[in-house]
Amino acid sequence: MINVNQVTIAEPAIMEEMQYHPSDSQEQAMQRAAESLVIGELLRQRAAALNLTVGDESDQASDQDFLDALIEREVSVPDADEEACATYFQQNPDRFTTSPLLELRHILLAAAPDDELDRVNAKTMAEQIIAQLQGGEDFTRLAKAHSACPSSATQGSLGQISKGQTVPEFERRVFTASEGLLPHPVETRYGFHVVSVDRKIEGKALPYEAVKGKIAEYLSEKVHRKAMAQYIHTLIQDADIEGYDFSVSDSPLLQ
């Protein structure tokens, strides 16, 4: 049982709230549920103290509705100005480029993620194919003979790809590779890939005018989230809370 400024949050309420907080353990789910209910109670108590109406009789306002209304009433949250946006742009040039483009071929040695023996065999076969290619074997012939990908019918070609078009584990390897045959297989959830990067077109820097709106939106959201965390922290510090310790919280909202 938890008391928040003499208002009781009973165990049944916590147990019911747990369904909205999937976690690695029941203890963690209970902790997150209790934390959510405590914060919600603090927000509602503060709104009541300010005679602040949130929603209407036909609208069951959420914790976020209360938090947004309270932030609007009690906290001045500045928008990102031109200087902040320009500084962020200058300090993070790699974030503001077009995606590189790759033209590549691959040979997929398929293996299920949970079949260890199959994956060992697939990796061994991929390494053997790489050795054959390094020795002068024809990529097209080996793709037709061994690849489990439909691209085997087109010389193993995936055409021209940009970031976001393939699975992350494949993307991480191929977009950092130089042109030519990769010396080691690329492992993904589908198996092991023999990859040849035939052409790499580097991304181009975007002009500030094209991205400043997105930068302002990002920085303003960042400031708003920080303001929310600080506001909740202030409510917690000023409250009389029994039965819950916020020092053990792992909530990103409070960080």
Same domain membership, residue 185 and residue 111: yes
What would you report as the CA-atom Rg of the chain, rounded to the nearest whole angstrom?
Answer: 27
Cα 112 from Cα 151, distance rounded (Å):
19
Residue 94 located in a structural domain:
no
Give the tokens for residue 230: 């600080």
- Residue closest to 178 by CA, chosen among 194, 193, 200: 200
Residue with tokens 């890939």: 193
Confidence (pLDDT) at 248? 60
In this predicted structure, the answer to whether residue 255 has a pLDDT above a threshold of 70 is no
Q: What is the distance of C-alpha 124 from the center of its chain?
A: 33
Amino acid at 200: K
User: Up-side HSE of residue 76: CA atoms within 13 Å toward CB?
Assistant: 0
Q: Mark which of 179, 201, 223 sits at the end of a domain.
A: 201
Residue 224: enclosing H or E segment and its boundaries? helix 208-238
Q: Average of pLDDT values for 63-88?
A: 91
Confidence (pLDDT) at 166? 93
CA distances for 246 relative to 11, 34, 37, angstroms: 18, 10, 12
Amino acid at 245: D
| Pairing of β 7-9 and β 180-181 | unpaired
Q: Average of pLDDT values for 210-225?
A: 93
Residue 140, domain extent: 101-201
- Residue closest to 110 by CA, chosen among 188, 196, 197, 195: 188
CATH of the domain at 187: 3.10.50.40
**pLDDT tier for residue 78 given thresholds of 50, 70 and 90:** confident
Cα 119 from Cα 104, distance rounded (Å):
23
| Pairing of β 101-110 and β 7-9 | unpaired
Confidence (pLDDT) at 252? 56
Confidence (pLDDT) at 94? 84
Same domain membership, residue 105 and residue 18: no
Q: Average of pLDDT values for 36-46?
A: 95
Residue 176 located in a structural domain:
yes
Other beta carbons less than 10 A from residue 48's beta carbon = 11
DSSP-assigned letter for residue 214 = H
Q: What angle do CA 34, 71, 28 make, to 5 degrees?
A: 20
Same domain membership, residue 52 and residue 11: yes
Whole-model pTM over 0.75: no
Count of the separate structural domains present in the chain = 2
**pLDDT tier for residue 173 given thresholds of 50, 70 and 90:** very high
In this predicted structure, the answer to whether residue 86 has a pLDDT above a threshold of 70 is yes
- Residue closest to 36 by CA, chosen among 63, 11, 57, 61: 63
Same domain membership, residue 216 and residue 191: no
Same domain membership, residue 241 and residue 181: no
CA distances for 172 relative to 92, 133, 177, 181, angstroms: 20, 23, 9, 16
Q: Average of pLDDT values for 215-230?
A: 92
**pLDDT tier for residue 197 given thresholds of 50, 70 and 90:** very high
